Amino acid sequence: MPKKERFTVGWLYPDLMNIYGDRGNILTLVRRAEWRGFDARAIELGRGTTKGMADVDVFFFGGGQDREQALVYQDLLDHKQAPLEEAVEKGATVLAVCGGYQLLGHFYQTAEGERFPGIGLIDVRTEAGKKRFIGDVVVDADVEGLEPKTLVGFENHSGRTFLGAGARPLGRVRLGSGNNGSDGMEGCVQGGVVGTYLHGSLLPKNPQLADYLIRRALSRRGITELAPLDDSAELAAHDRMLLRAQPRAPER
């Protein structure tokens, strides 16, 4: 029996940056790699450790309130920045949600004006406002080969994120506030890094994005296609969210 190839998901700060079901993204990445015949596993990368980061195919960085971000940003700068940059340079991919997305940028500034420096892996900056953006989100994504082209999820953030020239939006908001409630854009894509405000969790209802991250990480092994899976349950949940996003007919 040929030995199964290893596939590794690296979970940054699982104890502190993990809200609104973000854990579901880890399960989705591991299962979808397993269903393609890989020996798939997730490793936890909490504060103070970088063990195994060089072997990671897809990193996941979840969301967290200002308090949790204050507890992780120094470790990110001191310990994770260099191995993460190297891994991405070598073709690993990253999915970062909300608070994680913000700390991969240049900085996150709280509504009180406290600034947490980020690692600048993506060309974005975030400043919190007084009003939180909360609710369902539907995005028309601008990622090649992504089918369906819509992404659905849930947002809850005070941060307003603005993209620099080095990053492009993940897509256009159809429902919700997205990056900053003003430019109509959501998330960012820069090289192998995808940032977004979509919780939910995101990947169980958007399996096409999970496959995009897996496929892109595997392309360095010469693997460019993934065996199709029966995603009827996942896409039914996706379509349900799209329906929910339809403007309701005015009450008679």
Residues noted as catalytic: 98, 199
Beta bridge partners of residue 71, listed in sequence order: none
The CA-to-CA distance between both ends of the chain, in Å, stands at 66
Q: Which stretch binds ligand GLN (CB under 6 A): 112-120, 153-161, 171-179, 229-237?
A: 153-161
Q: Is 50 in the site for ligand GLN (CB under 6 A)?
A: no
DSSP assignments along 67-136, one per residue: HHHHHHHHHIIIIIHHHHHHHHHTT-EEEEETHHHHHTSSEEE-TTS-EEE---SSSEEEEEEEEEEEEE
> Which CB atom, from 64 or from 83, has the smaller least distance to ligand GLN?
64
Q: Which of 158, 183, 215, 235 binds ligand GLN (CB under 6 A)?
A: 158
- Smallest separation (angstroms) from ligand GLN to the CB of 201: 12
Question: Distance (Å, rounded) from C-alpha 80 to C-alpha 192?
Answer: 17
**What binding mask, one character per residue, do residues 190-219 give for ligand GLN by CB under 6 A, x or -?**
------------------------------
- Smallest separation (angstroms) from ligand GLN to the CB of 245: 20
Q: Which of 12, 42, 45, 63 binds ligand GLN (CB under 6 A)?
A: 63
| Helix, strand, coil fractions of the chain, as percent rounded to 5 | 30, 30, 40
Q: Which stretch binds ligand GLN (CB under 6 A): 60-68, 137-145, 162-170, 181-189?
A: 60-68
**What binding mask, one character per residue, do residues 64-83 give for ligand GLN by CB under 6 A, x or -?**
xxx--x--------------
CB 116 within 8 A of CB 77: no
Question: Distance (Å, rounded) from C-alpha 178 to C-alpha 219?
Answer: 30
Question: Distance (Å, rounded) from C-alpha 162 to C-alpha 156?
Answer: 17
- Interface with ligand GLN (CB under 6 A): 19, 63-66, 69, 98-99, 128, 156-159
